[in-house]
Amino acid sequence: MRGVFAFLLLFALLPFLPLGVWRAFLLDVGLFVLLFTALALSWDLVARTGQLSLAHGAFFGLGAYGTGLLLPHVGTLPALALGALLAGLGALLLGSVTLRLHGLYFAIASLAFSEVLRTLALKLPFTGGPIGLPVPPPFGGGLPLAGYYLAFAVLALAVALSLWAEKSPFRLAQAACRQSEAVARVLGVRVVRVKLLSLFLGSLVAGLSGGVYAMKALFLSPYEAFSLARAVEALVIPIFGGLYTTLGPLLGGVVLVGLEQALRLWIQEGYLVVYGALLVLAILFLPKGLLGLLGGRRG
């Protein structure tokens, strides 16, 4: 818990630290760390039930497009809330059809869901199609740090949901579903309801992340908003940091997103090759993630 709160305190105070000429760059990196760490926590919330979701890119895109389309008409906070609700409705639709599937079958179904939504975003006229959709800044651009603290609020919500799931009896229901659904049913766990609630809560956070991202980018493309890379990033960060915990995705988000942005700045051409190689090595030699490494050293 101390590590989680230290993380939140650091990022809450980051804009007030003496960052010098690196201030703008570090605040941008910090915003992306906040958003993609929240996305990773939302994926981990679903993974605790044993489901491998590749739909978080879809939830991210639904939140982004819902926010981008509504922002000029209803304002910043209502647009974010409605965009997240749209992502939640998408999760309920997906879950009601597919959550009785297991393992790779659910993963394939969730990936197909993402591809369907990307195709719709490319074809529907009100989304801007392949040309894309311009998005105004939050609060009309009058608050310079609005995007950063909106991203911080999304992460704080993700952390609160993760800690609730980690510390409440709901954790036991999730663990039972993950270990054996048949045994969980014998014990009285309503398996589909637990998995659907986890997917719904995770999708809300993913939708909020997408909405804040849209206001930061000021432009949306179906190829970017519904990218498979979003879903992959959402699952890689918890695996790297430590699964089924709150602190693991926080550590993974800081290291991986920070590393990606640093390599983008220093190498530019071919930085993804270096990033991918480092990631593969880390997963091979840190099977339990950063938390496993830190726990082993303390032991």
- CA pair distance 210, 67, nearest whole angstrom: 8
In a domain, 237, yes or no: no
The one-letter code for the residue type at 15 is P
Which two tokens mark 281? 């090595």
Report residue 220: phi and psi, to 5°: -125, 140
pLDDT of residue 298: 45
- CA pair distance 166, 297, nearest whole angstrom: 24
pTM of the complete model: 0.94
In a domain, 253, yes or no: no
Sort residue 188 into left (φ over 0), alpha (ψ -120 to 50) or beta.
Answer: left
Q: Is the pLDDT confidence value at 263 over 50?
A: yes
Decide if 199 contacts 83 (C-beta within 8 A). Answer: no
**Lowest-confidence pick of 5-9, 43-47, 254-258, 288-292:** 288-292
Range of the domain at 153: 2-227
Q: What is the pLDDT of residues 115-152, one digit of tens each?
A: 999 999 999 989 999 999 999 999 888 777 999 999 99
- Residue 105 — very low, low, confident or very high, per pLDDT cuts 50/70/90? very high
In a domain, 296, yes or no: no
Neighbours of 262 (CB within 10 A): 14
Closest among 153, 127, 156 to 226, alpha carbons compared: 127
**Lowest-confidence pick of 71-75, 83-87, 251-255, 269-273:** 269-273
Decide if 202 contacts 74 (C-beta within 8 A). Answer: no
In a domain, 267, yes or no: no
Q: Is the pLDDT confidence value at 103 over 60?
A: yes
Number of domain units in the chain: 1
